[in-house]
Amino acid sequence: MTPTLFSPLDIGALHLSHRVVMAPLTRMRASSPGNVPTTLNVEYYRQRTTAGGLIIAEGSQISQKGQGMPATPGIYSAAQIEGWRAVTDAVHEKSGLIVLQLWHVGRISHSSHQPNGGLPVAPSAIAAAGNAFTANSERVPFEQPQALEATEIPALIESYAQAARNAKAAGFDGVEIHGANGYLLEQFLQSRSNHRDDNYGGSVENRSRLVLEVAAAVSAEFGADHVGIRLSPYGVANDSGEDDPLPLYTYLISELAKLDLAYLHLIEPRASGAGQAEVDHKNVPSASELFRPVWPNVLIAAGNYRGDSAETLIAKGHADAVAFGRLFIANPDLPERLRRNLDLNAYDRGTFYGGGQEGYTDYPAVAS
């Protein structure tokens, strides 16, 4: 029988009742200082929970060095673990599933976020084009980052492993490694941001090394069947982009498959940069179609999908589930609306980042 958005699905060790996934969404509403999830965040995730539905919680920095925007939650302190525990409890009370995205922004940071005002770290000392968010929410040009020494990389990998341990302590059902959108791991992957001449630079194999080592370390802590990874092979967000992504990402995804991760989460190129502006990049390939043949486990696709296009994608077998972002922001009951083919609330882009309940927990649900 051809699967639909509302067919059950096993993602590694997780058993889903439907395939409408909530994408990880930076909202900048953690407490500040401290970057701790609050009762407002608990309500936001509670509203978007369905029985057997999967939520991928917003990117959460694995260390203070990994932060790039104000009021984004972390997963490296006891208070953050406790704050996230309240979120996971609320999701589990409604029989939902929730995994945490592990995030390090690398050069897409600013010294105002860094310990002792130091420079952000990156694979190479190459500043990104564009503007950073300071701790005071000002926009200023990105600084030239500090290149990580080879001797610092084992500690970086351990910070991912510790974040996985912390996520487990906070009650998450799994974790997703953020390897997309121009952040640290993608900076190592791509030749425009990685000019290293050691074992982590140069060849496709070397540029993929850190991602594979992080995935192995995180899997050792949580179990590979509880671990996913998000990639954006054709993305251009945050001054990213590989001239010829196919060789790099074919190799990387094939090697990740050997780790038997629960899922691969691909951002379609037409949606790259969608958090900052309305985009629909034309004449671009389908990441899910291109890389489905080299990925044997569950594949989640994300990027400007609606209910009908998501159904078509799943029916064709190009992906097993679809992650929705902006539509989930404005429709806390999105799975039910898609199931019943109901009208959708319009989202307010002006309330995406920062603020309080407006544009966060005040979108209406349909009557049951």
pLDDT of residue 10: 98
Total Cβ atoms within 10 A of residue 31: 17
Residue 285: what pLDDT? 74
Main-chain dihedrals φ then ψ at residue 259, nearest 5 degrees: -85, -10
**Chain position carrying tokens 């390939």:** 285
Report pLDDT for 41: 98
Classify domain 9-351 at the CATH class level: alpha beta
Going by their DSSP bridges, the two strands 14-16 and 9-11 should be labelled as: antiparallel
Prediction pTM value: 0.96
Tell me, yes or no, if 200 is annotated catalytic. no
CA distance 364 to 319: 30
Contact 301, 323 (CB under 8 A): yes
Show pLDDT as tens, one digit a residue, over the chain (368 residues): 899 999 999 999 999 999 999 999 999 999 988 999 999 999 999 999 999 999 999 999 999 999 999 999 999 999 999 999 999 999 999 999 999 999 999 999 999 999 999 999 999 999 999 999 999 999 999 999 999 999 999 999 999 999 999 999 999 999 999 999 999 999 999 999 999 999 999 999 999 999 999 999 999 999 999 999 999 999 999 999 999 999 999 999 999 999 999 999 999 986 544 445 444 555 667 899 999 999 999 999 999 899 999 999 999 999 999 999 999 999 999 999 999 999 999 999 999 999 999 999 999 999 76
The residue from 44, 45, 76, 183 that is catalytic is 183
Measured between alpha carbons, how far is 189 from 206 in angstroms, rounded to an integer?
Answer: 9
Alpha carbon distance 349, 206 (integer Å): 39
- Specify the pLDDT at position 30: 98
DSSP string, 26-69: ----S-TTT----HHHHHHHHHT--TT-EEEEEEEESSGGG--S
pLDDT (0 to 100) of residue 89: 98
